[in-house]
Chain A
Amino acid sequence: MRLIEAWTFGVAFAGYAVGLFFYVGYALSRREMWGRWGRRVLIFAVGCQIVSLVTRVMAARTVFGQNWYVPWSNWFESFSFFAFLIVVGFLLIETSSSLPILGVFVVPFAGLALLMSFIEPLLSGQASIVRAADLGLLLSSARAIPQLPPALQSYWMAVHVPAMFVAYAAFTNAFGLGLAYLIQERQIKSRRPAEFIYRLPSLEELDRLIYKVIFLAFPVLTLGIILGARWAYEAWGRYWGWDPKETWALITWLIYLAYLHVRLAGGWRGRRTAYFALFGFAVVLFTYVGVNYLSVLHGFLSGVGR
Chain B
Amino acid sequence: MKKLLLIGVSHKTAQVERRERLSLSEAALPDFLGRISGAPAVAEAVVLSTCNRLEVYVLTESPSAARELIEKELAARWGEGAPPWYVREDLAAVRHLFHVAAGLDSLVIGEGEILGQVKRAYEAALGARGTGKFTNVLFQRALYVGKLVRAETRISEGATSSASVAVSLAGKIFGDLTEKNILIVGAGKMAELSARNLLSQKAARLTVANRTLDKATELAGPLGGRAVPLEDLPEELLVADIVICSTGAPTPLVRAADVRDIMARRRGRALFFIDIAVPRDVESEVNGIENVYLYNIDDLQAIVSETVGRRRSEIEKATLLADRKAEEFCRCCESWQAGRPAPFAHSDFLSRSSVGGPAADATFLE
Binding site for B on A (CB under 8 A): 31-33, 184, 188-189, 191-193, 195, 197-198, 200-205, 267-272
Contacts and interface: CB of A to CB of B under 8 A. Distances in A.
Contacts of A269: 267-270, 291
Contacts of A205: 175
A204 B352 contact: no
Given A267-B267, A268-B268, A269-B291, A32 B174 contact: no
Nearest to A268: B268
14 contacts: A33-B354, A188-B172, A191-B287, A192-B299, A193-B303, A195-B158, A198-B158, A198-B168, A204-B176, A267-B267, A267-B268, A268-B268, A270-B290, A271-B291
A188 B287 contact: no
Interface of B: 157-158, 168-169, 171-176, 266-270, 287, 290-291, 293-295, 299, 302-303, 310, 352-354
A197 B266 CA distance: 25
B175 A188 contact: no
A33 B352 contact: yes
B290 A202 contact: no
B349 to A, nearest CB: 10
B268 A189 contact: no
Given A267-B267, A267-B268, A270-B290, 16 more contacts: A31-B353, A33-B354, A189-B287, A191-B295, A192-B303, A195-B157, A202-B172, A203-B174, A204-B173, A204-B175, A269-B267, A269-B269, A269-B270, A270-B268, A270-B291, A271-B291
Given A33-B353, A270-B291, A202 B268 contact: no
Contacts of B352: 31, 33
A202 B353 contact: no
Contact of A202 (B171, B269, B287): B171
Contacts of A271: 290-291
A267 B172 CA distance: 21
Contacts of A204: 173-176, 270
A203 B290 contact: no
A192 B165 CA distance: 12
A105 to B, nearest CB: 16
Nearest to A201: B175
B324 to A, nearest CB: 21
Contacts of A31: 352-353
A204 B353 CA distance: 29
Nearest to A32: B354
A292 to B, nearest CB: 37
Given A32-B354, A33-B354, A202-B172, A189 B293 contact: yes
Nearest to B293: A188
A293 B299 CA distance: 52
Contacts of B169: 188, 193
A188 B158 contact: no
A195 B267 CA distance: 30
A271 B291 CA distance: 7
B274 to A, nearest CB: 12
Nearest to B180: A204
Q: Which of A32, A184, A270, A272 has the most CB of B within 10 A?
A: A270
B259 to A, nearest CB: 15
Nearest to A194: B306
A267 B294 CA distance: 21
Contact of B173 (A32, A33, A195, A203): A203
Given A32-B354, A270-B290, A188 B173 contact: yes
A195 B306 CA distance: 10
A271 B270 CA distance: 11
B174 A202 contact: yes
B302 A192 contact: yes
A205 B270 CA distance: 12
Contacts of B268: 267-270
Which 9 A-B pairs rank lowest in CB-CB distance, beginning with the nearest?
Answer: A267-B267, A269-B268, A202-B175, A205-B175, A191-B299, A270-B291, A204-B175, A267-B268, A32-B354
A197 B165 CA distance: 12
Contacts of B175: 201-205
Contacts of B293: 188-189
A197 B169 CA distance: 9
Given A195-B158, A198-B168, A201-B175, A272 B353 contact: no
Contacts of B174: 202-204
